[in-house]
Structure 1
Amino acid sequence: MDRTPYWLCVDGEWVRQQDALTVQNRAFLYGDGVFETMRTFGEDIVFVETHFERLTNSLALLDIPLHADLQADGLRKLAARFIHKNKWYKGARLRLTVYRVGAGRYTPQSNESGFLLDGEPFDNEPFYPFVGTGKLLTAFSEMKKPLNKLASLKTTSSIFYVLAGKHAKTQGFDDCFIMNERDEIIETVNSNVFLVAGNQVIAPGTSNGALNGTMRKQVLNLLNDTNYNITERGINADDLQKADEVLLTNAVQGINWVKGYKERRYYHRFGAELSEKLNLKIVNRQF
């Protein structure tokens, strides 16, 4: 891969990768910010309106103002220019980090915002791949995710997910289930979870402490056009034993699937069908 520093957008200014941030950045010092992970198709962000809605809702909850360059159609235009400047036309993973700017330590002395638009290109993935091998999962039980207003946000303070990811890797698994304070399975390190049993689908939501996933919303829309009954609640051990399929969703990978958890093995027929429908929306630019 070409190691030439690529272009970033910091507070509306275009800079090379190595010149991006100062050590006074509050996202670095205190985790005082949120981020969006997005996928592009051509020069467009896939499901940009869903990302923008989550971003503005998250910033409002943290009392961080939306930067002027991101208002109205700003995010869409910035992303298009970002892709054009870096020539990443085959598709890319973008990360927009929005953080509070200003002096002060834990208590900020002002309340303005800054942002960083970063990314990495895909070599040959114009669509969401449905990986045929599936994933083997374990559970992260050392800590439980608190049930509060911050649980559904993608904040720059992500140490809980870092520790869960390290746990899965150390144990030799691809990912791990994360549980809330009620011992309900609600998500994995980087994905929302959908459990399929017969014509029933269980989808843990924000009321259970799950991340407010943008791809989760798109999959729920796809499920509304099927004969499946959807229940939004946490998943328990009995559910996992009875499940036919366990699906994982996120904005970059689309829909993936769990091959196994403990001794249980799962199918992926319905997941593959949903993934095909999702990719058809991308081809037809229905995003």
Structure 2
Amino acid sequence: MFNFNGELLHKNTDFLNENNRGLQLGDAVFEELRVINGDVIFLEDHYLRLMSSMRILRMEIPMNFTMEFMEEEILKLISEDGLRETKQIKFTVYRNTSDNNFSKSDNSISYFITSTTLINPFFVLDDKAYEVELFKDFYKNSSMLSNLDTNNKILNVVGSIYAQENDYQDCLLLNERKQVIEALNGNVFIVKGNQVKTPPITDGCVNSVIRKKIIDIVSKLNEVEFLEESLSPFELQKADELFIANNVNGLVSITKYRKKDFVNTTAKSLIGKLNAAARMSVSKSV
């Protein structure tokens, strides 16, 4: 089942037409969330990010599109499968067409919500072998649009194909200044000594909720110095640890980049704190 503008439809139901702007123009934005036992994790953060993304794209936000509405529409969908399952939710908003012309719109929106069942109820640290390489065929521009999760993910698609062809688990993306900004599947963090560093959003990385949560956690640790600074490719092989943060897996330790092998000490210490923050977000909303 999936939720289309409040109506539950069976999978594989035709509900988009040939003029759909999300399909024709990539004119859509999405938010990925996690739901555990009927509780939407980091709901407020995801809602505010979605609203911010829609404003940046000049979409018209309906008056009823409140945080409570967003939660109700998500729970309406997953209640069909049972609220006790752990779900990954993708909440997609796209701009409507008008006058049967996909290049014109009144900026009104439609939405659809899909769900996938997850095995692990909370975030986990995936510490299996995970080798990465720089993806240098194309660059990601450092602009405000690059901070959003939109339907234009062709760079990630091509990068993923490159990774598969060369037996890498992931690739690191560069901006037009050849600075490392993120992985194909999440935000990247680098650890050197007692410093934890991640690229600033002005360099073009996705401004995800999980990135914000990791920054909040690390910034409060007395034994760690947090830096939000541009990341040069030359720094990667000098690092003690590299890890990726995304809304689906939580944290993924990078085990190898070129000839350098990495530990995962910091990531291991952060995963419990991330889950504690997730539980806290639920208790605050009750």
1:108 and 2:104 matched: yes
What is the rounded CA distance, in whole Å, between the counterparts of 1:237 and 1:53 in structure 2?
A: 32
CA deviations 1:152-211 (Å, max 9, x no partner) are 111111111111111111111100000001101010112001101011111112111000
Supply the AA of the counterpart residue of 1:73: E
Preserved contact between residue 43 and residue 79 of structure 1 (Cα < 8 Å): no
Which residue among 267, 280, 285 is the counterpart of 2:276? 280
| 8 Å contact from structure 1 (residues 93, 121) kept in 2 | yes
Match of 2:177 among 175, 178, 182: 182
Shift in Å, 1:86 = 2.2
Residue of structure 2 in register with 1:142 after alignment? 137
Equivalent-residue separation in structure 2 for 1:112 and 1:77 (angstroms): 21
Q: Give the number of aligned pairs.
A: 280
The residue number in structure 2 matching 1:119 is: 115
Q: How far apart, in 1, do the equivalents of 2:27 and 2:273 lie? A: 37
Call closer, same or farther: CA 1:277–1:72 in 2, change over 3 Å.
closer
Aligned residues of 2:78 and 2:115 also touching (Cα < 8 A): no
Instruction: Give the counterpart letter for 1:11 in structure 2.
Output: N
2:39 partner amino acid:
D
Cα displacement string for residues 69-126 of structure 1 (whole angstroms, at most 9, x for unaligned residues): 532411111112222122252201111110001235453142210000011112x311
Does 1:14 pair with 2:15? no
The answer to whether the 8 A contact 2:126-2:249 is kept is no
Whole-Å separation in 1 of the counterparts to 2:42 and 2:14? 27
CA distance in 2, matches of 1:72, 1:190: 26
Give the Cα–Cα distance (whole angstroms) in 1 for the partners of residues 197 and 67 of structure 2.
35
**Structure 2 unmatched runs, 5+:** none
Q: Distance in 2 between matches of 1:20 and 1:42?
A: 30
Q: After superposition, where does 1:28-43 map in structure 2 within 5 Å?
A: 28-43=23-38
1:145–1:181: 8 Å Cα contact kept in structure 2?
yes
1:41/1:126 contact within 8 Å kept: yes
The verdict on how the C-alpha distance between 1:29 and 1:93 changes in structure 2, with shifts beyond 3 A counting, is: same
Are residues 1:164 and 2:159 paired? yes
Tell me, in whole angstroms, the C-alpha distance in 1 between the residues paired with 2:10 and 2:64: 19
CA contact (8 A) 2:237 2:257 kept: no
How high is the TM-score relative to the length of structure 2?
0.92
Any idea what SS the aligned residue of 1:40 has?
strand
Aligned to 1:55: 50
Quote the sequence identity (%): 25
CA distance in 2: counterparts of 1:125 and 1:20, whole angstroms: 31
Q: Which residue of 1 aligns with 2:39?
A: 44
State the distance in 2 between where 1:12 and 1:118 align: 12
- Tell me the CA shift for residue 134 of structure 1: 4.1
Amino acid at match of 1:238: F
**SS in structure 2 opposite 1:19?**
coil
Q: Following TM superposition, by how much is the alpha carbon of 1:212 offset from its aligned partner in structure 2, in angstroms?
A: 0.5
Partner of 1:127, secondary structure, is: coil
Letter in 2 for 1:102: T
